[in-house]
Structure 1
Amino acid sequence: MRFPPISFLAHHVAQSRISQYFFYCYLLVILTISFYPLAGWRYTGESVFAFYSYPLPYYFTLFDNLVNVLAYMPLGVAVGLMAKRRWFAWPLATLVGLLLSGSVEFVQQFLPGRIASNLDMLSNGFGACLGGLLALLIANRRWQRAWLVFRHSHLADSTLAEWGLVWLGLWFITQFDPSAPFLGVVVAPLGLPQPFDSPLANPALFLALLEGGGMMLNLIGVALFVSVLVKHMREVPMAIRLTLLAGLIVKLTFAGMLLQPAQFFAWINRNIVIGGAVGVLLLWGLWQLQRRLRALVGALALAAALGVGWAWPLAPQLSGMLPLFRWHYGHLMHFNGLAAVIGDVWPYGAILLMLWAAVTMPDSGEAW
């Protein structure tokens, strides 16, 4: 039998709230993918409650309903883990899933391209129920103790570490769009040339600097964000490498799923490679700074990356991007829209968390 570290047994262990934090963040994901693109609201004139009583199955596609089940399973897990009593985990998860999905479907009838479906609501509720049942397996003392030992051994001693870990999970969603460069801030559009005013005599160089510089800044910001969450300095390089490797795997997976075979590496180019190489060289020195200073530098890097996005003069052209993909427009819009919206929100949350760390997290507890 493997026992926890003595330091863990002797340490007052604060209750974990990661399930609550995950619930809030995943709720953001569900609302984003359900209501994207948040435009074109209209009222058809039909009864707004009619879809609840449609005969089943009124509208059915195997892919959509499978996705509906899987999408609500993490929500069910989070709700189940939040339940005060284990026996109440799956009923509570099912109830929350049905109420949330029923509300989402009600709103979706006012969005173009969306269909309010009682079958979707039932599929979501079933997924939440499965998640609640899965929570029963996770909520035993052995799993809880394993998580607390891991948190005590590897994560910084702060509530921020659990918040940051959940927020880092959202970063992986930003890699769902394979047409966007890995860790890139801007996307060079395909299609017709677009005129723009360049502050440099060479417009192509200006675009290359923005694209490569954005990647460099984003790489530094994400890596330092990870470093702030890690307890021991000696574990920082490995944590950064594992995070970036996992993000790359996500990017490759969705590239294989969504892109045409000939466009598998559309998410990488020379500017991204150069920006990434420079970012890695800078990280070699930055990760060894004290935690508070790393947090401050990481926040500044992400803020500068946002500035690159604002300075990018070209607009995306959907007609030029669609030939890259093998999926039809509806499913593609949901995945890429989710990645785009979370990608817009994520840096702001990460900046706030790192500024919080720069102010509140001690450097004294960070040992090699």
Structure 2
Amino acid sequence: MTQKTSAWPLALSYTALIVYASLYPFSDWRDQGIVPWFYLTAPLPKYWTWFDLVCNVLGYAPLGFLYALSSLRSGGPRRSAHAVLLASTACGLLSFAMETLQSYLPVRVPSNVDLTLNLLGGWLGAVTAFSLEKLGAIDHWSRIRAHWFVDDARGALVLLALWPVALLFPTPVPLGLGQVMERLEAALGDALQGTPFLAWLPVREVELQPLLPSEGLLCAMLGVLIPCLLGYCIMHSKTRRALFLIATIAVGICATALSDALSYGPSHAWGWFSLPVQVGLGVAFPVGLALLAMPRRACAALLLVALAVQLGVLNQAPASAYFSQTLQTWEQGRFIRFHGVIQWMGWLWPYVTLVYVLVRVSRREPGT
């Protein structure tokens, strides 16, 4: 019997992210004049780091987990019995395709070691999903999900699962996802350079100004209230909403601290926790408590307002020069594999959430 599960949309999203991470930056493709799978029989690399080894395993482990879980939850008995084999094979084929395509990219180096580690990671993830299913943990989670959330909660759960990942990419304003206007204008200007369409671009009369402390406070507050309101849209119980509020604030703080630790070093993990951010998070908690009893449809409407306000404030501010230097650590350093993936998630998460909530509000839902 097929069951509703968030595993499939998560698996498809993660597959797209793997493809993006593997083929980034998608430029200067060239044919080396050799078969693209030459790396299969190439000698083992002389230079490697534990960081690369661990990342290759951990990068595919969630994918194997989601593939296996999707098979276990939505397939018949015959398909479920081979979930580990199917998931491992899918991860291996995807990794083989990505490594082979990297043969055409000058900044990427295909490797048989990467292929092996990716396959190992996918297998470990699939075995983990299979083991949890046999132990009853997946059924237990399904019961918890049915008890905590409304039936049609898959889209919101996927967005909530991706939110802390999006926060890992450094943002100019703590917890401020979706600041794209400055880069979008620069990208359009570069793309239209030398064409008559360049004159069509609107010219700013006033330069972007840095955010005031009060605006940073507002963005920090809305940065945690937005995922809280998204959770409220798929939850009824005030008690569960209160627990979700606490968990969301804690996850947002931890993800932002981890982002700064990766970008600037562990000693600077709390450099972002300025007074405006502290006040913003402090205000977010009582505001979230005050909204516990709000109907789900009203939460969705308020969420749209919160998204519009935060995106409006963020996109009227420029990125600092110091922040631009931070991006180079991700774009040119050892985070290059994750730069494109997490950056796009940080850019698009608020806009995808906006579209999702608009679609949800446009439907008639009983009990809202």
TM range (shorter): 0.7 to 0.9
Give the secondary-structure state (helix, strand or coil) at the position aligned to 1:183: coil
2:226 is aligned, of 221, 227, 250, to 221
Cα distance in structure 2, aligned partners of 1:214 and 1:29: 27
CA displacement at 1:230 relative to structure 2:
1.9
Which amino acid letter does the alignment assign opposite residue 28 of structure 2? W
State the Cα deviation string for residues 32-85 of structure 1 (Å, max 9, x = none). Answer: 33234x353331534251434342414643321221111111111111123333
Which amino acid letter does the alignment assign opposite residue 17 of structure 2? V
Q: Where does residue 170 of structure 1 map in the other structure? A: 162
101 and 181 in structure 1: CA distance in 2 versus 1, 3 angstrom threshold: same
Using the size of structure 2 for normalisation, the TM-score is 0.78
Q: Where does residue 350 of structure 1 map in the other structure? A: 353
1:133 is aligned, of 123, 127, 138, to 127
CA displacement at 1:236 relative to structure 2:
0.9
**Contact in 1 for aligned 2:220/2:281 (Cα 8 Å):** yes
Q: Where does residue 65 of structure 1 map in the other structure? A: 53
State the Cα deviation string for residues 150-197 of structure 1 (Å, max 9, x = none). Answer: 122111122xx122212211111122235655413488xxxxxxxx97
283 and 21 in structure 1: CA distance in 2 versus 1, 3 angstrom threshold: same
Q: Which moved more, 1:170-179 or 1:73-82?
A: 170-179
Q: Which moved more, 1:239-248 or 1:51-60?
A: 51-60
CA displacement at 1:363 relative to structure 2:
5.7
Q: How does 1:310-349 map to 2 (within 5 A)?
A: 310-314=315-319, 320-321=325-326, 329-349=332-352
Q: How does 1:151-166 map to 2 (within 5 A)?
A: 151-158=145-152, 161-166=153-158
1:288 is aligned, of 246, 271, 293, to 293
2:108 is aligned, of 103, 111, 114, to 114
Q: Where does residue 143 of structure 1 map in the other structure? A: 137
1:82 is aligned, of 70, 82, 91, to 70
Which amino acid letter does the alignment assign opposite residue 80 of structure 2? R
**Contact in 2 for aligned 1:71/1:127 (Cα 8 Å):** yes
Gaps of at least 5 residues in structure 1 are 1-12, 188-195
**Contact in 1 for aligned 2:165/2:342 (Cα 8 Å):** yes
CA displacement at 1:264 relative to structure 2:
2.6
Cα distance in structure 2, aligned partners of 1:35 and 1:274: 41
**Contact in 2 for aligned 1:174/1:340 (Cα 8 Å):** yes
**Contact in 1 for aligned 2:84/2:123 (Cα 8 Å):** yes
Q: Where does residue 93 of structure 2 map in the other structure? A: 99
**Contact in 1 for aligned 2:95/2:115 (Cα 8 Å):** yes
**Contact in 2 for aligned 1:70/1:127 (Cα 8 Å):** yes
**Contact in 2 for aligned 1:157/1:231 (Cα 8 Å):** no
Residue 265 in structure 1 maps to residue 270 in structure 2: yes
Give the secondary-structure state (helix, strand or coil) at the position aligned to 1:123: helix
**Contact in 1 for aligned 2:21/2:340 (Cα 8 Å):** yes
Cα distance in structure 2, aligned partners of 1:20 and 1:332: 27
1:248 is aligned, of 233, 248, 253, to 253
RMSD: 3.3
Q: Where does residue 10 of structure 1 map in the other structure? A: none
Which amino acid letter does the alignment assign opposite residue 16 of structure 2? L
1:41 is aligned, of 20, 25, 28, to 28
**Contact in 2 for aligned 1:90/1:130 (Cα 8 Å):** no
Cα distance in structure 2, aligned partners of 1:262 and 1:77: 33
**Contact in 2 for aligned 1:186/1:214 (Cα 8 Å):** no
**Contact in 1 for aligned 2:7/2:70 (Cα 8 Å):** yes
**Contact in 1 for aligned 2:175/2:223 (Cα 8 Å):** yes
Which amino acid letter does the alignment assign opposite residue 91 of structure 2? G
